[in-house]
Every structure is written in structure tokens, then in C-alpha cells.
Amino acid sequence: MAKREPTARQMRLAVELRRLRDAAGLSAREAAALLGVNSVQISQIESGIAGVSEKRLRRIAANYACTDEAFIEALVAMATDRTHGWWEEYRGALPTPFLDLAELEHHATYRWDVDFLHVPGLLQTENYARALFSCRIPELPESELELRVRHRMTRQEITIPYEAVVHEAALRIRVGGRTASRAQLTRILELSEADHITVRVIPFDLDDFDDVTAAMVYAGGAVPKLDTVVRDGPHGSLFIDSEAQLGVFRTLFRRVEAMSLDPERSRDFIHRLAKEL
């Protein structure tokens, strides 16, 4: 049986351990000597091929002089996690990024979305999602299309704090026709009433917005170092996790948030759009 590729979460743990070693100024061979293993084992751990026990991870942190206890505990939780999430039923049936995103959301402590052309996936109705997936080129087989829709609907069952900033363009584009678009706006209004969900709108007539156009998913980790940004690219989803880039996207989100309408005015805005349809 072929060995399964590591998930994005397993790869993130591997990357963080490599970063700790680099910060300590140690080569793989030097680190292996401190741990009493060979350099091949270090390479396998840092590439996500091999797991790492709690005991060994704590030894690694000590040998790398890492004193950030909250960060260490978060890494231990990642290393010892044995969650078999609902998304695993789609493994082999949907592209891996779909599963990685669901796993990321499951472990996130909060989430921010910024979107300019489409309603964010966590706010979409079933008809809206189906219409979007139906536009794919090449066209998806009916069976995979329905799997993608079902996967997206299941992802919406989250309880973490969630804030979405959506451009007016995304709300006005009629995906699936007038009736489906009206139902989509109504759905956003319903969801925005939940205590853990905040929706903000960026109107067309906002001045000085041309330099902030970074659509993103921002998932908060157990500690800020373990935050993740997901961006869609021409060849699939890109997971971003370097501290420097995370800082840039935090700043971008706060800027977008500050420039958008507040939640109450946003609901009024969406209500007016729905009445126009």
C-alpha cells in the first residue's frame, strides 16, 4: 500500500521544527547528535514523512533553546493529534487542498475572510455553491460536483469567531440567476445575526481602496505563530505561514476591516440589495 502524503497540518509541524532548528543555528547532523538519532531521522521529521512523539518534541525544543511554552504546547498538540475528521471520507474523491482546508478550519481558533468576486464559501447557499462549481472548465462530472457541494456545506458547521469582509461586487454578481442570488443575500443576513459571525461590506463608492485587493482566508492558530493564510492561485490553493507574510496579511485585514461598513450598516446594505432583485 502506498504511503499517504502528509496533510497540510502535518507539514506545518514539520516546517516549524525546521524553523526552530535553523533559529538555533544547528545543522541536521548537529541536531541529530544532540538527540541521539541520525540525520536521516531529522530529515524525515522535517519533511513530514515521520511523526514525532511528545517526549522527543520536548527534547527537540529544549535542545533548540526554544523557551516559548505556549508555542511548544501548541506543537505538542499538533504532534499528538489523532483526529480522524469528517473530511477523511472525501480522501481520494476530492483534491487534497479541499481536505487540508477543512482540517485547517477544524483546528482554527478564529477565521477571517476577504472576498471581492464571490461570496465566501462559509456563507454560500447550496444553490450558489453548485452554480459556482458548475462553471468550472473543464466541466466537472456530476458526481464530483455534488461531492464538492456537500463538502462545502459540511464545512459551514463551525462555531469559532468568524468575520467576513465582502465587496459589493461579490454581492451583486448574479450566480445561479436572480432567485438564487436573492436567496444568497437572505442567507448572509440570517447568518450575520449569529453571535460568532460578523459580515462587513465594502461598497463601490469607497474612496482610496485601490491598494487593498488581497482576497484571503486567514485562520488563527493556537498561537499567532501558527496562523495560516490561504489564497487561491491559478494552480490551486496556496498556504502561507511565514511570520513576515502573516504580519502583512494581518495588517491588510485590519485595513480592510477599518475601511468597510460596520456590521449594522452592512446588514442594511445587503437588505437593500436583496430588495432590488
CATH number of the domain enclosing 267: 3.30.870
Q: Range of 55's domain?
A: 8-80
Backbone torsions φ then ψ of 150, nearest 5 degrees: -65, -40
Domain-located, residue 88:
no
In contact, 191 and 125? CB cutoff 8 Å: no
What's the whole-model pTM score? Answer: 0.94
pLDDT digit string, tens, across residues 68-102: 999 999 999 999 998 889 999 999 999 999 999 99
- From 50, 80, 110, give the residue that closes a domain: 80
Cell numbers for 274: 436583496
Q: What is the pLDDT of residue 3?
A: 62
Query: What does the alpha-carbon distance between residue 7 and residue 100 come to, in Å, rounded to a whole number?
Result: 6
* 51, pLDDT greater than 70: yes
CATH number of the domain enclosing 33: 1.10.260.40
Number of domains composing the chain:
2
Q: Are residues 127 and 194 in the same domain?
A: yes
Q: Are residues 15 and 126 in the same domain?
A: no
pLDDT digit string, tens, across residues 147-178: 999 999 999 998 999 999 999 999 999 999 99
> Residues 13, 50, 6, 230: what is their CA dihedral angle, to the nearest 10 degrees?
10
Cell numbers for 71: 508555542
The separation between CA 106 and the C-alpha centre of its own chain, rounded to angstroms, equals 10
Q: Which residues contact 169 (CB under 8 A, 6 or more apart)?
A: 116, 117, 204
Query: What does the alpha-carbon distance between residue 131 and residue 182 come to, in Å, rounded to a whole number?
Result: 14
Cell numbers for 238: 496556496
Q: Are residues 195 and 72 in the same domain?
A: no
In contact, 125 and 183? CB cutoff 8 Å: yes
**Residue 236, amino acid:** G
The chain-wide mean pLDDT, for the chain, equals 93
Percent helix, strand and coil across the chain, each to the nearest 5: 55, 15, 30
